[in-house]
Structure 1
């Protein structure tokens, strides 16, 4: 099983950031909470900081742990760990995605969210 982390970035209006995977990438066309694989020797928090810097050119502050979801993709299972985060510094510049939007939690079910990310809609709704 592969450990993967997701940042649920929140802005001052209570919206969360989702990003759309660009063509040529695995899961192209799906929206997701940004993040990535936890590398050997990294904590989930260290991985999130590295991934958001690599994928979006931003520094983040990690807040509360939201929860986890085990999802079985064709390539094998992943355990997705999600954390609430905020942007500390930087302007978003995308590398693995072609778009991003700030969206209200109640509107997340209106986009084509990656299957592993879907359970976090309910977790976020319950925590708000």
Structure 2
């Protein structure tokens, strides 16, 4: 009989500006997959809904205030990650308060949607880019 995996729930946002550019961040040195570009977000903590976790993470990482009803779920990825199994939920967001600040990553930039497919990204983010391109 197979062991039940331990799940790692992660949320991310495709923040879309008025020019249809999307914000990505570079993973900082010392973290797994350092130097790769990713959508901002992070782990869902115990007792949090995915939306509340994403609102918290975007405040911590970018200094943005976002309401949960501004988040629209669009895609997910499921991937084995060592002893754990990653479930990555991607939301889009067009509405926030504040100017994005690079508070936790080594770099950040706004890129046009088609350019996302040319960035070095973690394996779980790659299928999300394709899914995002079909819905935007």
In the alignment, the residues of structure 2 paired with residue 16 and residue 72 of structure 1 have an alpha-carbon distance, to the nearest angstrom, of 27
CA deviation digits over 1:45-93, x for unaligned, max 9?
0000000111111112433211211122235211000100135222222
Matched with 1:116 is 124
**Alignment TM-score, normalising by the size of structure 2:** 0.87
Instruction: Provide the aligned length of Structure 1 versus Structure 2.
Output: 128
Listed as ranges, the gaps of 5+ residues in structure 2 are 1-6
Residue 94 of structure 1: CA displacement?
2.2
- 1:8 equivalent to 2:14? Answer yes
Do the aligned partners of 1:59 and 1:87 also contact (CA within 8 Å) in 2?
no
Shift of 1:122: 1.2
Contact 2:51 2:71 in 1 (8 A): no
Structure 1 runs not aligned, ≥5 long: none
5 Å-filtered alignment, 1:76-91, equals 76-91=84-99
TM-score (normalizing by structure 1): 0.92
Aligned structure 1 segments of 4 or more residues deviating by more than 6 angstroms = none
The yes-or-no answer on 1:106 pairing with 2:114 is yes
Residue pair 2:10, 2:88 contacting (<8 A) in 1 also = yes
Give matches, 1:39-50, under 5 Å.
39-50=45-56
Partner of 2:38: 32
Greater fraction of residues in strand: 1
**Whole-Å Cα distance in 1 between the matches of residues 124 and 73 of structure 2?**
16
Deviations 1:74-120, CA, capped at 9 Å, x for gaps: 35211000100135222222233111111111111211011111111
SS in 1 for 2:9: strand
Rg: which structure is higher? 2
The alignment yields a C-alpha RMSD, in angstroms, of 1.4
